[in-house]
Chain A
Amino acid sequence: MAIKNIIQKNKQWLWLMAYLIATLSSFIFGFNPGQEVFGNFAKFFIEMITFIPFLFIIIGLFDVWFPKEQIEKHIGKESGIKGMFLVIVLAMLQAGPLYGAFPVVYILYKKGASIKNIFIYLGAFSSLKIPMLGIEIGYLGLKFTLARTLISLPLFIAVGYLMEWYLKNKKFKVNEV
Chain B
Amino acid sequence: MINNAFIFIIVSIILSLISFFLDRNKTILGFKKGLKMFKSIAIPFLNILILVSLALYFIPQSLIIKYLGAGSGIWGLTIASFVGSVTLIPGFISYPIAAALVKQGASYATVATFMTTLMMVGVVTFPLEAKYFGNKVAAIRNILNFITAIIIGLLVGLVLWR
Tell which of A12, A41, A159 touches B145, judged by Cβ atoms closer than 8 Å: A159
Contact of B144 with A163 in the complex, beta carbons under 8 Å: yes
Distance of A59 Cα from B56 Cα, bound (Å): 30
Report the Cα distance A53→B16, complex, angstroms: 13
Contact A12 B29 (CB under 8 A): no
CB-contact partner of B43 in A16, A97, A135, A156, under 8 A: A16
The 8 Å CB contact of A48, one of B49, B56, B91, B102, is: B49
Hey, which bits of chain B sit against chain A, CB under 8 A? 1-2, 4-5, 7-9, 11-12, 15-16, 19, 26-27, 29-35, 37-38, 43-47, 49-50, 52-54, 56-57, 88, 90-92, 95-96, 98-100, 102, 108, 111-112, 115-116, 119-120, 122, 125, 128-129, 131-134, 137, 140-141, 144-145, 148, 151-152, 155-156, 159-160
- CB distance B99 to A127 under 8 Å? no
Docked complex: A105-129 residues within 8 A CB-CB of B: 105-106, 119, 122-123, 126-127, 129
Which single residue of chain A is at the shortest CB-CB distance from B133? A174
Could you say which residues of chain B place their CB within 8 Å of the CB of A48?
Answer: 45, 49, 96
B52 to nearest A CB, angstroms? 6
A139 to B7, CA, bound (A): 12
**A40 B52 Cβ-Cβ under 8 A:** yes
Indicate if the CB atoms of B137 and A167 lie closer than 8 Å: yes
Chain A residues near B122: list those with CB within 8 A.
98-99
State whether A98 and B47 are in contact (beta carbons under 8 Å apart), knowing that A137-B7, A138-B95 are contacts in the complex: no
Residues of B close to A106: CB separation below 8 A = 132
Give the secondary structure class of B's interface.
helix
Contacts of B57 in A (CB 8 A): 33, 36-37, 40
Number of A-B contacts defined by CB within 8 Å: 204
A50 within 8 A of B: yes
Q: Which residues, 10 to 64 on A, are CB-close (under 8 Å) to B?
A: 12-13, 15-16, 19, 33, 36-38, 40-41, 44-45, 47-48, 50-64
Chain A, Cβ-Cβ closest to B111: A140
Q: What separation, in Å, do the CA atoms of A58 and B7 have in the docked complex?
A: 12
* Contact indicator B137/A172 (Cβ below 8 Å): yes
User: In the complex, are the beta carbons of B49 and A140 less than 8 A apart?
Assistant: no
Which residues of chain A are near B100, meaning CB under 8 Å?
44
Cα A105 to Cα B134 with chains together (Å): 14
A12, B52: Cβ atoms under 8 Å?
A: no
B95 touching A99, Cβ below 8 Å = no
Overall SS of chain A's interface: helix
Q: Is the CB of A19 within 8 A of B140?
A: no
Residues on A with C-beta less than 8 A from B30 are: 57, 60-65
Give the distance to chain A from B142, nearest Cβ to Cβ, in Å.
Answer: 10
Residues 81 to 116 of chain A near chain B (Cβ within 8 Å): 95, 97-99, 102, 105-106
A44 contact set on B, CB distance < 8 A: 49, 52-53, 96, 100
Q: In chain A, residues 144-177, which have Cβ atoms closer than 8 Å to a Cβ of chain B?
A: 144, 147-148, 151-152, 155-156, 158-159, 162-163, 166-167, 172, 174-175, 177
